[in-house]
């Protein structure tokens, strides 16, 4: 079975237990992190001590994965952001559905729940925008800007 690799191999300390090497390998191959951890621990326990040497080498060789913080600019009203931390997290969050148990992602039922939650948050934002655009304040601002 061939898995689609995603970019470069990094270690992810924020998702890791020791240095994030297993989390980085799991992300690279699209597997669950727990599966890679079990494989490494099983290998060490079954007499493949060179896994420890490889893990330590990867710890020093691999770069840390950069954390990207995406700021949403769609919900600014009069230059001020109305996003809460939860809304910012939901807008930048991607939902991955897994087909097999070892693949990274969410079970379909959880993915459906997350998509439903994202749509509720987006609907609330749209209602705020509609409320502002239909308000007299918006009409006055637009007329002043025309002058």
Domain regions of the chain by residue span = 1-67, 76-146
**Cα distance between residue 40 and residue 19, in whole Å:** 14
Residue 71 · residue 79 · CB < 8 Å: no
Query: Any idea what the Cα angle at residue 33 is, between residues 107 and 54, rounded to 5°?
Result: 160
Residue 88's SS3 state is helix
* The two three-digit tokens of residue 30, written as one number: 């699209």
Least confident of 6-10, 44-48, 51-55, 92-96: 92-96
**Could you read off the pLDDT of 86-131 as tens digits, one per residue?**
555 555 667 677 666 666 677 777 778 888 888 999 999 999 999 9
DSSP 16: -
**Cα distance between residue 109 and residue 12, in whole Å:** 27
Sorted by sequence, the CB contacts under 8 Å of residue 66 that are 6+ apart come out as none
**Could you read off the pLDDT of 67-90 as tens digits, one per residue?**
655 444 333 444 444 455 555 555
The pLDDT value recorded for residue 127 is 94
**Cα distance between residue 73 and residue 127, in whole Å:** 16
**Cα distance between residue 73 and residue 94, in whole Å:** 18
Query: Any idea what the Cα angle at residue 65 is, between residues 61 and 68, rounded to 5°?
Result: 160
């Amino acid at each position: 079975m061939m898995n689609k690799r995603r970019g470069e191999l990094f270690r992810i300390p924020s998702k890791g237990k020791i240095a994030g090497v297993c989390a980085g390998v799991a992300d690279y191959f699209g597997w669950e992190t727990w599966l890679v951890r079990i494989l490494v621990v099983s290998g060490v326990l079954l007499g493949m001590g060179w896994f420890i040497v490889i893990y330590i080498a990867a710890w020093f060789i691999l770069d840390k994965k950069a954390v990207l913080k995406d700021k949403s600019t769609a919900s600014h009203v009069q230059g001020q952001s109305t996003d809460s931390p939860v809304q910012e997290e939901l807008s930048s969050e991607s939902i991955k559905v897994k087909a097999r148990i070892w693949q990274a992602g969410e079970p379909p039922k959880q993915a459906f729940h997350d998509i439903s939650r994202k749509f509720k948050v987006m609907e609330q934002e749209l209602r705020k925008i509609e409320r502002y655009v239909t308000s007299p304040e918006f009409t006055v601002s637009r007329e002043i800007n025309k002058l």
